Chains A and B, each alone.
Chain A
Amino acid sequence: MTNKYFIFFCFVFFIGFGSCASLTMGPQQIDFVGSGKDFVCQEAHLKLEGSEFVTGEILFSEDGFSERKLSRHNLSAEEVGLKVNFPEEVFVENKTSVNICVKGKKGNYHGIVLYRMKNKPVRVGIWMNVSFDRDSSLVKISGDAVSLDEGEFSVWTIPLVLLVILGLLVLRLKFRDSGDETCESEFEDY
């Protein structure tokens, strides 16, 4: 009878020591909204017991797919036309924040940020929504001219258009002045 108790306690004792790997990441989703010309950054946090190295990767889905299905997210940032900046290897001590930055061409993208404990069987991920709209507020003023993907062109378009308008106004004013002078002289003559 005593032996049975002993075996039971040994069993419970060893269950307690059964090693597990755990990793925490949050929040569950991060959104990147902007023009896409400059890096848009968001913060995520990683937590684990003790300290450990973790390795990260970011994957995206094909254009137009925004369901939360991991197996459909298998494209790199370059493959979808984005540039991402994030720490690929992080030393996590209890809780650590990671900064994730994205920039790229106009469009909506759905991705996942994954971090795995080095040499451990656990990996966690959080979803990322990217929405880059190059037009932003300028589209209402100048229409299609600034909706082109090449931002350099749009920067010069507005000043050029304004210069042309200014030139036309100056010319018109000049013509009007000269016209008035002619009328005045004619009137005087009369």
Chain B
Amino acid sequence: MKKLYAFAFAFLILGMGFASAASTDTLKVKTNVLAEEVSISVPDEIVFQDIAPGYISEKQEMSVVNMGTVDVSVSAELDALYEGDIFTNLGFKRVLADELTNIRYFDFEVMKPTTVGGEKSEGIYMYLDLVDYSGDTAEADHSADIIFTAVPL
């Protein structure tokens, strides 16, 4: 009896397979094409260690992540509301061998991810260069907002 049930079950499975193959004579292809998007992610905060005028800070590594579907150009700028002068001396490098580029002139490219929904990150190095700084030297905590802007290439 058990054998009979097993045979019946096997035929049922086999029959279902044939039925589904025979019921359609074409292969339907479906996809969802997503709209092109510009999307980046950057860290909220970077903290430099203690520094004094006449010195350059230790490098701070950070990553800008492209999560969109287009290659982007990313530039950095100080918030327009920033009134101090310490952080106008921020500099960036893409690779350690590069010359330090001041924040006003720094931009770089982050290519789109290789797969849709994926991420592509680009690491950069940030420095606070106070070697030639001659502004306010009073000991105090300083902070400023930096904006990273991504636009399609």
Contacts and interface: CB of A to CB of B under 8 A. Distances in A.
Contacts of B100: none
A122 B43 CA distance: 9
Interface string A118-142: 0111111111000000000000000
B110 to A, nearest CB: 12
Contact of A124 (B43, B65, B150): B150
B147 A68 contact: no
B148 A24 contact: no
A66 to B, nearest CB: 14
Contacts of A120: 44
A28 B70 contact: yes
Interface stretch (A15-23, A100-108, A152-160, A176-184): A15-23
Interface in B100-153: 107, 145-153
A161 to B, nearest CB: 47
Contact of B43 (A18, A27, A112, A119): A18
A114 interface: yes
A124 B38 contact: yes
Main secondary structure of the interface of A (DSSP, over half): strand
A21 B41 CA distance: 5
A55 B68 CA distance: 20
A85 interface: no
B41 A22 contact: yes
Nearest to A24: B39
Given A112-B151, A126-B152, A28 B145 contact: no
A24 B37 CA distance: 7
Q: Which of B43, B75, B150 lies at the interface centre, i.e. has the most chain A CB atoms within 10 A of its CB?
A: B150
A124 B44 contact: no
Contacts of B73: 68, 70
Nearest to A73: B151
Given A20-B43, A125-B38, A116 B147 contact: yes
Nearest to B39: A24
B37 A28 contact: yes
A70 B105 CA distance: 12
A125 B42 contact: no
Contacts of A119: 145
Given A18-B43, A24-B67, A70-B75, A123 B149 contact: yes
Given A20-B42, A22-B39, A119-B145, 10 more contacts: A20-B65, A22-B67, A27-B37, A28-B38, A47-B39, A70-B73, A114-B149, A120-B44, A121-B147, A121-B148
Interface of B: 35-45, 65, 67-68, 70, 73, 75, 107, 145-153
Interface of A: 18-29, 45, 47, 68, 70-71, 112, 114, 116, 119-127
20 contacts: A18-B43, A19-B44, A21-B41, A22-B41, A22-B67, A24-B39, A25-B37, A25-B39, A45-B35, A47-B39, A68-B73, A68-B151, A70-B73, A70-B75, A114-B149, A116-B147, A121-B44, A121-B147, A123-B148, A127-B152
